[in-house]
Amino acid sequence: MESTTGPAAIADPEGVGAATTPEIYLDYQSAKPVDPRVVEAMLPYFTERFGNPAALHTVGDRATEALEESRSAVAAFIGAQPEEIVFTSGATESNNLALIGYANRNKRTGDHVIISEVEHISLQNIGKYLEKEGFRVTKVPPDQFGRISPQKLRTRITDDTILVSVGWASSEIGTVQPIAEIAEMLRGTGVALHVDAVAAEGLLPIDMATVPVDLLTISSNDIYGPPGLGVLYIRKGTRLAAVTMGGGQERGLRSGTENMPAIVGMAAAARIAGEELSADAARLAAMRDRLISAVLSTIPDSHLNGHPVERVPNNAHFRFEGIEGESLLLSMRDEGVWVSTGSACSSKTLAPSHTLISCGLLHEEAHGSLEFTFGRFSQEDDVDRVMEVLPGVVSRLRRMSPLYQKV
Ligand code: PMP
């Protein structure tokens, strides 16, 4: 296989899957390869450094030491204190603990929760669950670029509001939210703020010491750590009820024996992400900008979804008039370019993206979208390869499309 140095090379180091076209992975939002430096840090924890932190002997003590060192490393990555970090099985679980745990613990104060309309499907579904449990849930719509206005949010707050949940950035269209402004607006109101930072971590600076967020979700794989591990940051003084019952690990908030190899891996990933964030972000933004200007200037009737400026450095999300994203994705796949039509977590439904519909797109417009996400192992010439194939694929599909009349 003539491959890039990216995940294809990691997955197939011997080049066994020989093919003539280069294969390019531009779907980093759905999964990231674990950084080889992280794998190295994890390996001893499967074998000679195994151990349960709850065990009352030296092997257990060593595990406790590794657990607390890891907690400190992850805390430092987001400007938090170690005791504000709870390890979970991933972002979905962190989101569940944040919203259900906070709502249940604070229901005597109020029964109203506000969630932005452009949140990940996990939060949308947690909202539905809370409604069934008797809470009132209000959805706040974004503007056409997917941004949530702090002023609009403020008008939805009532005396019964206890919690607001807005993501730091959209993992789909890449729009970055004005989290610092939203947090300032809520400061002193008694309304807690939960932020799902999965799409922003490792790409934008996240500092709990300066931004007054109460609950923050991050995941390990999104910073090139192992999948199946996440964190909920809980600001000191924020009270939650546990959602998982068991042996009382993680201060009783997340029972279950700690996944030590993954925890050590996430800590290593957080250290690397902290050191390399600025350089990574600048390199990714340059590739993203080159792709955006090449697509918009070369392919007629193409549009950028999401915000033109306030977007994460690795995301380029386009809409092509008259064709379907699914057909585009499959044609690109035939050319060895792996991309996405939106959130991988919703890819099994035929419904158009709720995020794009919330931004005001018609169903057929939302269906004509394609998402490119760059990552740590992307190369400059990945952009050239996309531009070698994408214009031809778009015109071929348009020639066959009854929806496109301009050819
Ligand atoms: N939040 C966001 C913004 C996501 O993109 C995802 C999916 N990567 C999740 C939450 C859920 O993550 P997981 O499936 O790893 O629990």
Closest C-alpha among 160, 34, 147 to residue 109: 160
Catalytic residue, candidates 10, 296, 345, 389: 345
The answer, yes or no, to whether any atom of ligand 1 lies below 6 A from the CB of 174, is no
Pocket probe mutation, ligand 1, options 166, 171, 343, 346, max atoms within 8 Å of Cβ: 171
Q: What is the mean pLDDT of residues 13-34?
A: 78
Does the structure show a pLDDT above 60 at 5?
no
User: Tokens for 404?
Assistant: 């496109």
pLDDT digits (tens, 9 = 90+) for 269-296: 999 999 999 999 999 999 999 999 999 9
The answer, yes or no, to whether any atom of ligand 1 lies below 6 A from the CB of 120, is yes
> Letter for the amino acid at 241?
A
Does the structure show a pLDDT above 90 at 18?
no
Q: What is the mean pLDDT of residues 118-134?
A: 97
Question: What distance in Å separates the CA atoms of residue 56 and residue 199, rounded to the nearest whole number?
Answer: 39
CA of 325 to the centre of ligand 1 (A): 21
The answer, yes or no, to whether any atom of ligand 1 lies below 6 A from the CB of 66, is no
Q: Taking a C-beta distance cutoff of 8 angstroms, is the pair 264, 70 a contact?
A: yes
The pLDDT of residue 213 is 98
Q: What is the mean pLDDT of residues 323-334?
A: 93
Does the structure show a pLDDT above 90 at 120?
yes
Report the chain's mean pLDDT, rounded to a whole number. Answer: 93
pLDDT digits (tens, 9 = 90+) for 250-274: 999 999 999 999 999 999 999 999 9
The pLDDT of residue 64 is 97
> Letter for the amino acid at 212?
P
Pocket probe mutation, ligand 1, options 93, 122, 317, max atoms within 8 Å of Cβ: 122
The pLDDT of residue 363 is 87
Residue 9 CA, chain-centre distance (Å), reads 24
Q: Which atom of ligand 1 is nearest to the CA of 90?
A: 16
Q: What is the mean pLDDT of residues 30-43?
A: 98
Atom 14, ligand 1: which residue's CA is nearest?
92
The pLDDT of residue 350 is 65
The answer, yes or no, to whether any atom of ligand 1 lies below 6 A from the CB of 171, is yes
Pocket probe mutation, ligand 1, options 34, 120, 165, max atoms within 8 Å of Cβ: 120
Q: What is the mean pLDDT of residues 374-391?
A: 97
pLDDT digits (tens, 9 = 90+) for 138-183: 999 999 999 999 999 999 999 999 999 999 999 999 999 999 999 9
The pLDDT of residue 348 is 58
Does the structure show a pLDDT above 50 at 2?
no
Q: What is the mean pLDDT of residues 330-355?
A: 80
pLDDT digits (tens, 9 = 90+) for 187-233: 999 999 999 999 999 999 999 999 999 999 999 999 999 999 999 99
The answer, yes or no, to whether any atom of ligand 1 lies below 6 A from the CB of 32, is no
The answer, yes or no, to whether any atom of ligand 1 lies below 6 A from the CB of 122, is yes
Atom 5, ligand 1: which residue's CA is nearest?
171
Residue 21 CA, chain-centre distance (Å), reads 30
Collapsing DSSP states into helix, strand and coil, what is residue 320?
strand
CA of 44 to the centre of ligand 1 (A): 28
Backbone angles phi, psi at 306, to 5 degrees: 85, -175
> Letter for the amino acid at 157?
I
Percent of the chain surpassing pLDDT 70: 93
The pLDDT of residue 20 is 63
Question: What distance in Å separates the CA atoms of residue 28 and residue 32, rounded to the nearest whole number?
Answer: 5
Question: What distance in Å separates the CA atoms of residue 279 and residue 14, rounded to the nearest whole number?
Answer: 30
The answer, yes or no, to whether any atom of ligand 1 lies below 6 A from the CB of 196, is yes
Is 345 an active-site residue?
yes
The answer, yes or no, to whether any atom of ligand 1 lies below 6 A from the CB of 92, is yes
The pLDDT of residue 346 is 52
Name residue, tokens 């995301």.
Answer: 315
Please, what are the domains in the chain?
Answer: 7-34+277-400 (3.90.1150.10), 38-271 (3.40.640.10)
Question: What distance in Å separates the CA atoms of residue 218 and residue 198, rounded to the nearest whole number?
Answer: 5
Does the structure show a pLDDT above 90 at 91?
yes
The pLDDT of residue 13 is 46
pTM of the model as a whole: 0.94
Does the structure show a pLDDT above 50 at 1?
no
User: Tokens for 13?
Assistant: 């180091």
Percent of the chain surpassing pLDDT 90: 87
Does the structure show a pLDDT above 50 at 245?
yes
pLDDT class of 407 with cuts at 50, 70, 90: low
Q: Taking a C-beta distance cutoff of 8 angstroms, is the pair 226, 265 a contact?
A: yes
Q: Taking a C-beta distance cutoff of 8 angstroms, is the pair 53, 60 a contact?
A: yes
Closest C-alpha among 118, 344, 382, 128 to residue 227: 344
The answer, yes or no, to whether any atom of ligand 1 lies below 6 A from the CB of 165, is no
